[in-house]
Amino acid sequence: MTKFKASNILQWENDEKNTISGAWNDLANYPIETGKTTFSQRHGKAAQVGRMDGSAARIPSAEMTSLSWDTNAKNDLWYNPLYPNGHSNGH
Protein backbone atom coordinates (compact mmCIF):
# COMPACT_ATOMS: atom_id res chain seq x y z
CA MET A 1 0.00 0.00 0.00
CA THR A 2 2.87 2.38 0.61
CA LYS A 3 3.72 2.32 -3.12
CA PHE A 4 0.46 4.07 -4.02
CA LYS A 5 -0.04 7.81 -3.95
CA ALA A 6 -3.13 9.42 -2.43
CA SER A 7 -3.87 11.02 -5.84
CA ASN A 8 -3.98 7.70 -7.74
CA ILE A 9 -7.39 7.20 -9.33
CA LEU A 10 -9.16 4.11 -8.08
CA GLN A 11 -12.45 4.52 -9.91
CA TRP A 12 -14.13 6.90 -12.36
CA GLU A 13 -17.67 7.47 -13.48
CA ASN A 14 -18.01 5.52 -16.68
CA ASP A 15 -19.45 7.01 -19.84
CA GLU A 16 -23.15 6.20 -19.76
CA LYS A 17 -23.28 6.44 -23.57
CA ASN A 18 -20.42 3.97 -24.14
CA THR A 19 -22.10 0.60 -24.60
CA ILE A 20 -18.75 -1.11 -25.12
CA SER A 21 -17.63 -0.72 -21.52
CA GLY A 22 -21.07 -0.65 -19.92
CA ALA A 23 -22.73 1.92 -17.72
CA TRP A 24 -20.35 1.77 -14.75
CA ASN A 25 -16.75 1.13 -13.81
CA ASP A 26 -16.67 -2.05 -11.77
CA LEU A 27 -12.94 -1.57 -11.03
CA ALA A 28 -12.13 -3.95 -13.90
CA ASN A 29 -12.35 -1.35 -16.67
CA TYR A 30 -9.40 0.33 -18.32
CA PRO A 31 -9.27 4.09 -18.99
CA ILE A 32 -9.21 3.14 -22.68
CA GLU A 33 -11.24 0.27 -24.07
CA THR A 34 -11.44 -0.57 -27.78
CA GLY A 35 -9.90 2.77 -28.73
CA LYS A 36 -12.27 4.95 -26.67
CA THR A 37 -11.90 6.63 -23.31
CA THR A 38 -14.32 5.13 -20.81
CA PHE A 39 -14.97 8.03 -18.44
CA SER A 40 -18.10 10.16 -18.47
CA GLN A 41 -17.87 13.74 -19.72
CA ARG A 42 -21.40 14.77 -18.78
CA HIS A 43 -20.39 16.81 -15.72
CA GLY A 44 -19.36 19.99 -17.47
CA LYS A 45 -16.69 18.30 -19.53
CA ALA A 46 -15.01 16.79 -16.50
CA ALA A 47 -14.60 13.30 -15.10
CA GLN A 48 -15.73 12.39 -11.60
CA VAL A 49 -13.16 10.12 -9.91
CA GLY A 50 -12.49 8.37 -6.62
CA ARG A 51 -8.93 8.43 -5.37
CA MET A 52 -6.87 5.98 -3.33
CA ASP A 53 -7.14 8.16 -0.24
CA GLY A 54 -10.94 7.90 -0.28
CA SER A 55 -11.53 11.39 -1.64
CA ALA A 56 -13.45 12.31 -4.77
CA ALA A 57 -12.30 14.74 -7.43
CA ARG A 58 -13.40 16.39 -10.63
CA ILE A 59 -10.77 16.24 -13.37
CA PRO A 60 -11.13 18.21 -16.63
CA SER A 61 -11.84 15.92 -19.59
CA ALA A 62 -8.72 17.07 -21.43
CA GLU A 63 -6.53 16.10 -18.47
CA MET A 64 -8.30 12.75 -18.02
CA THR A 65 -7.89 12.01 -21.74
CA SER A 66 -4.21 12.90 -21.54
CA LEU A 67 -3.72 10.57 -18.56
CA SER A 68 -5.65 7.80 -20.35
CA TRP A 69 -3.54 7.88 -23.48
CA ASP A 70 -0.17 8.40 -21.73
CA THR A 71 0.67 4.71 -21.49
CA ASN A 72 4.46 5.11 -21.47
CA ALA A 73 4.94 6.11 -17.85
CA LYS A 74 3.17 5.85 -14.51
CA ASN A 75 0.58 8.49 -13.77
CA ASP A 76 -2.54 8.70 -11.60
CA LEU A 77 -4.41 6.29 -13.91
CA TRP A 78 -1.56 3.91 -14.77
CA TYR A 79 0.18 3.18 -11.44
CA ASN A 80 0.65 -0.56 -10.89
CA PRO A 81 3.82 -0.61 -8.78
CA LEU A 82 4.96 -3.89 -10.34
CA TYR A 83 5.54 -2.39 -13.80
CA PRO A 84 7.75 0.53 -14.92
CA ASN A 85 4.98 1.92 -17.15
CA GLY A 86 2.27 1.39 -14.51
CA HIS A 87 0.52 -1.44 -16.35
CA SER A 88 1.32 -4.76 -17.94
CA ASN A 89 -0.93 -5.18 -20.95
CA GLY A 90 -0.22 -2.25 -23.21
CA HIS A 91 -3.71 -0.72 -23.03
What residue ranges do the domains of the chain occupy?
9-69
Q: Tell me the C-alpha distance between 18 and 42, whole Å.
A: 12
Strands (DSSP E) contained in 29-77 are 32-33, 36-37, 46-51, 56-60
Average the pLDDT over 71-75 and give the result.
Answer: 87
Q: Tell me the C-alpha distance between 15 and 81, whole Å.
A: 27
pLDDT at position 32 is 72
First-residue to last-residue Cα distance in the chain: 23
Which stretches of the chain are DSSP H helices? 61-69
Q: Tell me the C-alpha distance between 19 and 71, whole Å.
A: 23
Q: How confident is the model at residue 72 (pLDDT cuts 50, 70, 90)?
A: confident
Q: pLDDT tens-digit profile of 48-62?
A: 889 999 999 999 888
Q: pLDDT tens-digit profile of 2-32?
A: 889 999 998 887 766 665 555 555 566 667 7
